[in-house]
Homo-oligomer: A and B are copies of this chain.
């Protein structure tokens, strides 16, 4: 099954590394500085979202970036902690370990290990196609619902209340119920940060230019707005010692290189984590591939889904062995990397060096960073993921897609991320199968002056009362075999003059064993009624399998290349001979 690829196919660095130039180096270095400034607060925040110490977020942004640079096929994807995967990590790990313990961190990196293994195996088996089973509406719904879940959870941190709820609605209700007990300093710090970040998105760059900065520098400085906000709130907290009034701060962050860690070798735990790890892998892969493809298309490059699986697998294994937690290619950071002009995966390596320096030197400065500030950066980041337009589009185009998106959102909010994702995928597959189980069957007639046949109900066509042409608009398989039998029984009963039935098979892409039996039964029943069954426009792959079956051996009728030839031959017979 697996064809052995050349070395460069699995190590794209051998390809782009050879052509690396000084110009590319400059572009990559500038992009790395910008992305590093953005990633430091984000890494801390997502670690907090995942229920892990701040430094774990930094560790998870170092080895994975380097490993992706070695194996990845996207030139600009930035791998590290992302919002949805961090939420899924928190949900999963929270079920088997107590928050804040060493065991919790160990379970989180074991989850990264399992997820990495799953991704790697899927990549080696070339199972990238599995991601196709997440439809666009389901992904949209899932991301939107996850963003709302995350925002509600972080709002709790901003307000400094002890709200809790089994699901989104209970959490929101509990937040409202605890509103009177909000922690004033925390709320003011958090909401100010939210306001500042929303303003900074569009307002910071023009403001800096007005202050006299050259546009290029203003751009870099504007992207550092979160860092500035964090520095400012940390400085104020230190100045006024707000932590003594109960403001929660990041606290001690041990400085140093990422530690060498090993996952827990506990088969019972692995079993428990297997399904969540699979879902995290698939969600992470889909998010990463979507971002990678979007950005690659803008520069007419391509990414290879199966090799992306390998690269993400390696990244997660890297996270597992360097004190991290599950990672994937993130949307925001990759777009920033792209916009900042990154030309090659080397930009990722330079970013990793930047974060490594932060982990070594910057941690004492993080002591006074309020948790509410980090929560604010998460809220602002995830609210941009909420996309309600999918409901509008699908409502007008396809109610089935709308139902899948709506179910994904409601179940995710009401019962959690795993249940939501599975409900979405399950429902969209169920509706696809349901549709195919009730095939559209049209009686066809000749469009005058052509050799083309169309539905008698929609076009002015010629028909012959002795020859019934039926087009089944679906592959024939167990779920719809009976529908064809019923329709044919009906048609034959209604037409006493009928001599021939021609099944136009242009839309039949497959006939399974159950449907084959049904066709044999149909042929036998028609024969008893004095009607001959013919087939037309049977496709090559279908015909190949029908050869040698009892159906073709017993069939009295013929198999015509085109429906036109069938009708010519059969109408001729009826008119001229009989």
Contact = CB atoms under 8 A, between A and B. Distances in A.
A53 to B, nearest CB: 39
Nearest to A545: B397
A412 to B, nearest CB: 18
A432 B433 contact: yes
Nearest to A508: B507
B393 A513 contact: yes
- Residue picked from A134, A428, A479, most chain B C-beta under 10 Å: A479
A478 B132 contact: yes
A514 interface: yes
A181 interface: no
A132 B480 contact: yes
A539 interface: yes
Contacts of A457: 540
Nearest to A505: B507
Contacts of A525: 297
A436 B474 CA distance: 11
A167 interface: no
Interface stretch (A8-16, A91-99, A413-421, A446-454): A446-454
Contacts of A429: 429, 433
A360 B159 CA distance: 76
B512 A400 contact: yes
Given A478-B132, A478-B135, A514 B401 contact: yes
Interface stretch (A81-89, A249-257, A437-445): A437-445
Nearest to A398: B513
A137 to B, nearest CB: 6
B473 A509 contact: yes
Contacts of A126: none
A137 B393 contact: no
A95 B438 CA distance: 38
Nearest to A134: B478
A506 interface: yes
Contacts of A452: 451, 537, 561-562, 564-565
A265 to B, nearest CB: 28
Contact of A455 (B507, B540, B549): B540
A506 B472 CA distance: 11
Given A432-B433, A451-B564, A562-B450, A136 B540 contact: no
Interface in A284-300: 297
Contacts of A482: 129, 132
A539 B433 contact: no
B480 A514 contact: no
A556 interface: no
Contacts of A440: 509, 539, 541
A248 B474 CA distance: 57
Interface in A464-523: 473-475, 477-483, 506-510, 512-514, 516-517
Copies in the complex: 2
A458 B540 contact: yes
A394 interface: yes
**A contact residues, range:** 35 or more
Contact of A136 (B474, B480, B513, B561): B513
Contacts of A396: 548
A335 to B, nearest CB: 18
Given A437-B129, A439-B509, A506-B506, A432 B514 contact: no
Contacts of A439: 509
A561 B483 CA distance: 28
A435 interface: yes
Nearest to A452: B562
A198 interface: no
Nearest to A480: B132
A525 B175 CA distance: 47
B478 A136 contact: yes
Given A452-B562, A452-B564, A540-B458, A479 B133 contact: yes
Contacts of A133: 433, 437, 478-479
A313 to B, nearest CB: 20
Nearest to A400: B512
Contacts of A481: 132
A397 B519 CA distance: 14
Closest 8 CB pairs of A and B: A135-B478, A401-B513, A451-B451, A452-B562, A473-B509, A136-B514, A458-B540, A135-B514
Interface of A: 129, 132-138, 297, 393-394, 396-398, 400-401, 428-429, 432-433, 435-440, 442, 447, 450-452, 454-455, 457-458, 473-475, 477-483, 506-510, 512-514, 516-517, 525, 537, 539-541, 545, 548-549, 561-562, 564-565
17 contacts: A136-B478, A136-B513, A137-B513, A137-B514, A138-B478, A393-B513, A396-B548, A398-B545, A450-B451, A452-B564, A455-B539, A458-B540, A473-B539, A474-B475, A474-B509, A507-B507, A507-B509
Given A132-B483, A447-B561, 11 more contacts: A129-B437, A129-B482, A132-B478, A132-B480, A134-B478, A135-B477, A397-B513, A433-B433, A436-B509, A439-B509, A450-B564
